[in-house]
Structure 1
Amino acid sequence: MRYLPLTDIDRGAMLEKIGAPSIDALFDDVPAEHYLDGPIEGLPAHAGEMAVEKHMRRLSKQNLAAADAAFFCGAGAYRHHVPATVDHIIQRGEFLTAYTPYQPEIAQGTLQMLFEFQTQVARLYGGAIANASMYDGSTACWEAIVMAARLTKRHRILMSGGVHPHYVSVAQTMARFTPGHVEYDLPVPNANPGDDDIIARIDDETSCVVVQYPDILGRIPDLQKIADAAHEKGALLIVVNTEPVALGALEAPGNLGADIVVGEGQSIGVGLQFGGPYLGLFAITNPKHVRQMPGRLCGETVDADGKRGFVLTLSTREQHIRREKATSNICTNSGLCALAFSVHMTLLGEKGLRALAAENHRLACRAADRLAQVPGVKVMNDTFFNEFTLMLDTETRPLVRDLATKGVLAGVSLGRLFPDGDGRENGLLVTVTETNTDDDIEALATALEQAIGAEKAA
């Protein structure tokens, strides 16, 4: 039974207030081809519960799970081993059912966890202060952009071609509703990450420069060089990181001049999960900017008896007292995913994270060397962490689909990430983590040899 408390008169009054002719008009931005014009294909119109369960199980068997294939996909969502301890702890009732800690006296466990999470993120990113997480990496990136606009009073946004195109798309969408103007050029898949190109475009009107580290093609930009150029013009440097394991090997962005560091925390503790839910990480390097930081911040204090305690120190979200003066309208902090991240990071520790990063890089180098031996394959990166770009003698989108039927998930086609073409349709982004074996790498190399050979023979 549906419960809809609003009457037609109520809805009419609301539509009149916002100036919309109908409810459907609120969805005009959704492309017409994405509207359903009938029942969902493949689902029965009416069936009992057991029949539906059986039908859904049959459909699920059409999936190829990451654990059942030689898996080399990445591009912002990575397969890492998550210890069983993580799931055991986050399934505990006091964590699994916890809600927003509005009443600190009964939410000390949640607040302490978030306080420790903030500490871990700040240390990982080289920041002075981190918040208690956000929705995901892409929305954290946009929140950093609007924070930079508040601090600089400027609205020109430079996004490097190395930033994940989905993050760019989110920024472009949100900028339609703000004074912000996003400037972005598609990346050229070569060894040069384009540091000089982005630096040449910084001027006195630039609010921020957004750079990914490592970038979408696996390259490592020179953050200090870009930071110096941005600061000379009064702009801020925002660094995006989609693979936090990389920071077990690379210098923290905050130590290289970044003003705001954001990213996706999925790699640590969360798992792939069909694309979500994930969690956004957010840190700043200048404590003076804390009042402009979005989201919530947990702090440490002492109670009336002098005992250590935790509180919600800062929460400038729209549903709290700030309301229309809020720095953000993000209304959750992905708390359970943040807990999973914090538990996994605690299990690893600094030594474990460095060892995990080293193993990722070792296996990626092993894969790059082997794939470079395949006729018709060229490795484009001079430097990388666990992700690198290949250029093939053939279009990669159909090749990736064909290899998936043979139990090899070969990576992410650049033609999928950048559908506009211009030579990227032959690019393949390959990711190697500690979950890959030497047999997996050999399976990928052999599959590519056979597929490219067959393409040439045809």
Structure 2
Amino acid sequence: MRYLPLTPAERAEMLGVIGAGSVEALFEDVPAFARLPGPVPGLPLHASEMAVERHMARLASANLSAAEAPFFLGAGAYRHHIPASVDHLIQRGEFLTAYTPYQPEIAQGTLQVLFEFQTQVARLFGTDVANASMYDGSTACWEAIAMAGRVTRRKKAVISGGLHPHYIATAATMARFTGDALDTRLPDLAAEPDDAAVIAAIDGETSCVVVQYPDVLGRVPDLAAIAAAAQAKGALLIAVVTEPVALGLIEAPGKLGADIVVGEGQSLGVGLQFGGPYLGLFGCRDKFVRQMPGRLAGQTVDADGKRGFVLTLSTREQHIRREKATSNICTNSGLCALAFSIHMTLLGGEGLAKLARVNHAAARKTADALAKVPGVTLLNSAYVNEFTVILPRDAREVVRELAEYGVLGGVSLGRLYPEAFALHNGLVVTATETTSDDDIHALATVLTELLADTHEGSPT
């Protein structure tokens, strides 16, 4: 829809109808310090559509996209190959909506897709049930913490140091308004996650333990041991999966004792998309289903005995129960869930396992190449497609220098933990099926030149 501004006469007519003396009067409740005194500085008052398109194209050309360079970024958002059929199918008219259908009699196709999506997520996570998706992984993580509080009637969450700091920040924002206490810690630069420290923090006031699997440094925690310790104290284990492709190679969290499993579904079908929209995944044990946020699409039969699909549970949500709701979610990421489900269907169980093995092989090649670079140390003793290396200097500087030579070399821990100086030399590196041998060679070659003591010559 194009923006069509009102004429002065139309504005005057509108103001007359609503009884306002001026347009400015409509904003009098906004504090003066928060209002601009005039138009935004530096922006023209008007421009032609063609001029705006040219300007935006010039701005976009400054981006170095994932497809244009050796790409090793991850830490919660991953580049995978998405079959062309995914984009083709989600743009069909009967599917092209981000919202939940509330009239099942005219939305059987979409409801069936959501039902199948729930089945796929439950099998992927190893849980009894999964919902019809949430906004993204970080908000799904918070919803799990809130749900654990309702189940246990406790208000303390023990957070593993391996949980992505953006997920922690999201939970901390929400906890300010609920009174929940978050017991957080920083990750140690060690080959294995400090599961013992997490277990030691669990007490009789703990509602849940939140553990990322694999964690933000690519390490694989012992979920079974943490689950046993948590459940012995009456707490729940929440497992957070930011890279669902990894579950094609390692055991599903629900099979290891996790009570609630949440995650980010972006890896499958959705794409990087400059940070969103993404897709929250949420599964749990059957006995907790009525405390689970979001909605469930269910299968039933109609008056003639024919199979049909309906919304089974959505009575816990803000748009229905308002301030009495157990969740502030008002819809689900329907279109992204559809993309996830189509990609999963194309892969199948065997395809996902094969994809995970290909990812792991690419990561091993990358790790082996980087371990040979003078001054670089591989941190992990185990990983799937993501690992951490320790550089001899601040990784933020190295990442910027790599980008100048057309290599997107990873995510620096200094960017994720700016206040934790002990972590600043850490670099999280991710390899997927899109990573070529040439990409690995480029990263290792440029990094070798950048870290050379003499710094003579230029990276090639």
* TM-score with structure 1 setting the length: 0.92
Paired residue for 1:383?
382
Aligned counterparts of 2:225 and 2:144: Cα–Cα separation in 1? 20
Equivalent residues of 2:164, 2:212 under 8 A apart: yes
Question: How far is the alpha carbon of 1:323 from its aligned partner?
Answer: 3.0
SS of the equivalent of 1:389 reads strand
Deviations 1:376-421 (A, max 9, x none): 1000000001000010011111211111121100000000000013
Distance of 1:191 and 1:7 partners within structure 2: 67
State how far apart, in whole Å, the 1-side matches of 2:288 and 2:207 are: 15
In the TM superposition, residue 324 of structure 1 has moved relative to its aligned partner by 2.8
Structure 2 residue aligned with 1:18: none
Bigger shift: 234-243 or 393-402?
393-402
Unpaired segments of 5 or more residues in structure 1? Answer: 10-14, 16-20
How many residue pairs were aligned? 441
Alpha-carbon contact 1:224-1:256 (below 8 Å) kept: yes
**Matched residue SS, 1:447:** helix
State the partner residue of 2:10. none
- Note closer, same or farther for the CA distance 1:355–1:39 as it changes in structure 2 (3 Å cut): farther
Amino acid at match of 1:453: A
Residue number in structure 1 paired with 2:24 = none
CA 1:68/1:40 → structure 2, altered by over 3 Å: closer, same or farther?
farther
Residue of structure 2 in register with 1:407 after alignment = 406
State the shift of 1:188 in Å.
1.1
Shift of 1:48: 1.1
Residue pair 1:316, 1:327 contacting (<8 A) in 2 also: no
Query: How many percent identity over aligned positions?
Result: 67
Per the TM alignment, residue 132 of structure 1 is displaced from its structure 2 partner at its CA by 0.2
**Could you say if the C-alpha distance between residues 42 and 114 of structure 1 is closer, same or farther in structure 2, counting changes exceeding 3 Å?**
farther
DSSP-derived class of the 1:73 partner:
coil
Q: How does 1:89-104 map to 2 (within 5 A)?
A: 89-97=89-97, 99-104=99-104
In the other structure, the counterpart of 1:197 is 197
Q: Does the C-alpha gap of structure 1 residues 179 and 60 become closer, same or farther in structure 2, counting only changes over 3 Å? A: same
SS at match of 1:245: helix
Secondary structure of 1:177 counterpart: helix
* Equivalent-residue separation in structure 2 for 1:105 and 1:372 (angstroms): 59
> Is residue 131 of structure 2 the alignment partner of residue 147 of structure 1?
no
Contact in 2 for aligned 1:294/1:316 (Cα 8 Å): no
- Seen in structure 2, the aligned counterparts of structure 1 residues 303 and 23 have a Cα distance that, compared at 3 Å, is same
1:199 and 1:229 in contact (8 A); partners too: yes
| Structure 2 match to 1:344 | 343
CA distance in 1, matches of 2:42, 2:119: 47
Deviation, 1:332, is 1.6
Q: Which residue of 1 aligns with 2:307?
A: 308
Cα pair distance change 1:402/1:38, threshold 3 Å? farther
SS at match of 1:430: strand
User: 2: CA distance between counterparts of 1:158 and 1:118?
Assistant: 28
Return the offset for 1:331: 1.1
Bigger Cα displacement from structure 2, 75-84 vs 396-405: 396-405
Deviation at 1:424, TM superposition (A): 1.1
TM-superposed deviation, 1:423: 1.8
Seen in structure 2, the aligned counterparts of structure 1 residues 423 and 321 have a Cα distance that, compared at 3 Å, is: closer
Mapping for residues 105-144 of structure 1, pairs under 5 Å: 105-144=105-144
Q: 2:49: which partner in 1?
A: 49
Aligned match of 2:66:
66
Distance in 1, Cα, partners of 2:337 & 2:393? 41
- SS for the counterpart of 1:208 is strand
Aligned to 1:427: 426
CA distance in 2, matches of 1:440, 1:42: 40
Structure 1 residues 217 and 91, CA gap change in structure 2 (3 angstroms): same
Aligned equivalent of 2:273 = 273
Provide the aligned C-alpha RMSD in A: 2.4
Structure 2: distance between partners of 1:167 and 1:241: 11
Aligned amino acid, residue 136 of structure 2: D
Residues 99 and 335, structure 2, Cα contact 8 Å, conserved in 1: no
Aligned-partner residue type, residue 407 of structure 2: V
Deviation of 1:322 (Å): 2.9
SS, match of residue 416 in structure 1 = helix
For residues 409-447 of structure 1, the C-alpha deviation after alignment (integer angstroms, 9 at most, x for no partner) is: 000000000001332111100000000001100100001
2: distance between equivalents of 1:175 and 1:97? 31
1:284-312, CA deviations, whole angstroms, 9 ceiling, x for partnerless residues? 02x12111000000000000110000000
Distance in 2 (CA, whole Å) between partners of 1:410 and 1:196 is 32
- Which residue of structure 2 lines up, in the alignment, with residue 158 of structure 1? 158
Which residue in the other structure is 1:77 paired with? 77
Normalising by structure 2, report the TM-score: 0.91
| Cα distance, 1:356–1:7 mapped onto 2, change above 3 Å | farther
Structure 1 position 41, deviation (Å): 7.5
Query: Could you report, residue by residue, the CA deviation over 1:37-84 in whole angstroms, capped at 9, with x for unpaired residues?
Result: 986677544311111111111111111010000000000000000000
CA 49–368 in structure 1, closer or farther in 2 if over 3 Å, else same: same
Once structures 1 and 2 are overlaid, which stretch shifts more, 390-399 or 83-92?
A: 390-399
- Shift in CA distance, 455/219, structure 1 to aligned 2, threshold 3 Å: farther
Q: Once the 2 structures are TM-superposed, how far is the Cα of residue 7 of structure 1 from its aligned partner?
A: 7.2
Distance 1:42 1:393 in 2: 42
- What per-residue deviation string (whole Å, max 9, x for no partner) do you get for residues 130-174 of structure 1? 000000000000000000000000001110000000000001111
Verify the 8 A CA contact 1:86 1:340 in the aligned structure 2.
yes
How far residue 455 of structure 1 moved from its aligned partner, in angstroms, is: 6.8
CA distance in 2, matches of 1:61, 1:36: 30
Letter in 2 for 1:75: A
**1:452–1:339 CA distance, 2 compared to 1 (3 A):** same
Deviations 1:308-358, CA, capped at 9 Å, x for gaps: 000000003445443332221111200000000000000000010000000
- TM-superposed CA distance for 1:6, in Å, is 7.8
Q: Alignment partner of 1:239: what SS?
A: strand
State the partner residue of 2:436. 437
**In structure 2, how many angstroms separate the alpha carbons of the residues matched to 1:24 and 1:256?**
53
1:317–1:331 contact (8 Å) kept in structure 2? no
2: CA distance, partners of 1:46 / 1:342: 43
Secondary structure (helix, strand or coil) at the match of 2:239 reads strand
Max radius of gyration: which structure? 2
